[in-house]
Structure 1
Amino acid sequence: MTVPSRLLPLLEQFDFAYRRLADRMTGPVVDSGDGTDTPVGPLTDDEYFWEPVPGCWSVRRREGGPGPRATSLTGAGDWGRDAAAYPHPWPPPFTTIAWRLSHLSEMLTLRADHTAGGRRLTRDDYRISGDAATATTAFGSGAEAWRKALLGADDTALDTVGYCTYPHGGDPEEPFLDIVWWVNQELLHHGAEIALLRDLYHARAQPDGR
């Protein structure tokens, strides 16, 4: 199927944002932004769970219960992501790479299912990753599923309100094109946050900047 012209720039933006973040987490190099390659190692478990300030929300073993100000651990499996029912804590808790990456991967996987799958998955079905390598793989799988769902959308679908029935956002009330834009901005801003947290993690061990 021919990709609608309105979708092409958003699809290209998604591909760029995904590749930039995937390379930033796995290496061996990442595009520095000026056409040169910057060496980077794979995301470690220590970075994945690093809490730069007190009271972070993160991914935790289910048996240990939720973290500060969280009331539950969302997801399936032995690990869960800190969460709380509305109204959320204010100010919002600072979140770890583990939390942010889990959020992104779950969002991509569930939105793909509610666009081109069985439209049944919920947060309680999504398996939370307890280590960096598994989480990075899960992110790739979620991105692949979402991209495949996008390639199945024609011009009519882009204008259809509720084409995606994802239950944890405004999808049932929004045209699909707006949802595609929203997913891109989620990937862009959380990707930048994850990259910055990696930089801060390494900088803390090198106070002289070397």
Structure 2
Amino acid sequence: MAIPARLVPLLGQFDFARRRLTDRMAGPVRDSGNGTDVEVGPMTDAEYLWEPGPGCWSVRRRVEGPGPRATVLTGTESGDWGRDATPAPHPAPPPFTTIAWRLSHLSELLALRADHTNGSHTLTRDDYTISGDVATAVAAFDTAAGAWRNALLSADDKALDTVGYSTYPHGSDPEDPFLETVWWVNQELLHHGAEIALLRDLYRLRHAGT
């Protein structure tokens, strides 16, 4: 099936942001922004779980329970790890979140949206496995991003205009044309990718003693 013309630039943007985030996390090089490769080491488990300040939300072992101001750990209860959360209304000001929290959130929304677009339309946060180490987390991101990309490739022009083509229950997807959902997912990837990149820089500076 030919890719609808309206989807082409959004798909290109998604592919670019996905590759840039993956390279930023795993190395061995990343694009500096001007086409120059910059060396970057792979993220460590300590960095993945680093809490830059007090009261951070992160992913935690279930036996330890939720972190500060969190009341639950999301994710499948059969897993060893969960992500800090609380039912609405959320804490104000919002807690600062670790790389682990942000990457888990991003991967989960990609995986669930893919399922609610061209999959079973049944997966919930309780079905998602939270990763406690960086290697598993990066692999889970790659799998989720690939699933979402396949969901995009399944959409024709009619689907792009269909309200509720994605039935993802944790957003406005059921009320939005699918094209708006595609745009929204791109901005999620772009802004969380930028946050993760900044946290990597801060972690490097902290341990460089500068």
Q: TM-score range by the shorter chain?
A: over 0.9
Asked if residue 37 in structure 1 is aligned to residue 9 in structure 2, the reply is no
Distance in 1 (CA, whole Å) between partners of 2:126 and 2:2 is: 35
Residue in structure 1 matched with residue 107 of structure 2 by the alignment: 105
Identity across matched positions, percent = 75
Residue in structure 1 matched with residue 63 of structure 2 by the alignment: 63
Distance in 2 (CA, whole Å) between partners of 1:157 and 1:44 is: 41
Distance in 2 (CA, whole Å) between partners of 1:193 and 1:16 is: 16
Distance in 1 (CA, whole Å) between partners of 2:81 and 2:25 is: 21
- Report matched runs for 1:81-120 at 5 Å: 81-120=83-122
Residue in structure 1 matched with residue 2 of structure 2 by the alignment: 2
Residue in structure 2 matched with residue 46 of structure 1 by the alignment: 46
Distance in 1 (CA, whole Å) between partners of 2:103 and 2:47 is: 12
Secondary structure of residue in 1 paired with 2:209: coil
Secondary structure of residue in 1 paired with 2:73: strand
Secondary structure of residue in 1 paired with 2:208: coil
Normalized against structure 1, the TM-score is what? 0.98
Q: Which amino acid aligns with 2:57?
A: W
Secondary structure of residue in 1 paired with 2:147: helix
Q: Root-mean-square deviation (CA), in Å?
A: 0.5
Cα deviation, 1:98-151, whole Å, max 9, x if unaligned, reads 000000000000000000000010000000001000000000000000000000
- Structure 1 residue ranges without an equivalent (≥5): none
Structure 1 segments, 4+ long, off by >4 Å, are: none
Residue in structure 2 matched with residue 19 of structure 1 by the alignment: 19
Task: Select the residue among 197, 200, 204 that pairs with 1:198.
Answer: 200
- Structure 2 residue ranges without an equivalent (≥5): none
Residue-pair matches, total: 208
Normalized against structure 2, the TM-score is what? 0.98
- Report matched runs for 1:115-194 at 5 Å: 115-194=117-196
Q: Which amino acid aligns with 1:135?
A: A
Distance in 2 (CA, whole Å) between partners of 1:104 and 1:206 is: 28
Distance in 2 (CA, whole Å) between partners of 1:35 and 1:102 is: 29
Q: Which amino acid aligns with 1:32?
A: S
Cα deviation, 1:83-107, whole Å, max 9, x if unaligned, reads 0000000000000000000000000
Distance in 2 (CA, whole Å) between partners of 1:179 and 1:47 is: 31
- Report the CA distance between 1:205 and its aligned residue: 1.9
- Report the CA distance between 1:207 and its aligned residue: 3.4
Secondary structure of residue in 2 paired with 1:204: helix
Residue in structure 1 matched with residue 74 of structure 2 by the alignment: 74
Secondary structure of residue in 1 paired with 2:57: coil
- Report the CA distance between 1:206 and its aligned residue: 2.2
Distance in 2 (CA, whole Å) between partners of 1:39 and 1:24 is: 9
Distance in 1 (CA, whole Å) between partners of 2:199 and 2:116 is: 31
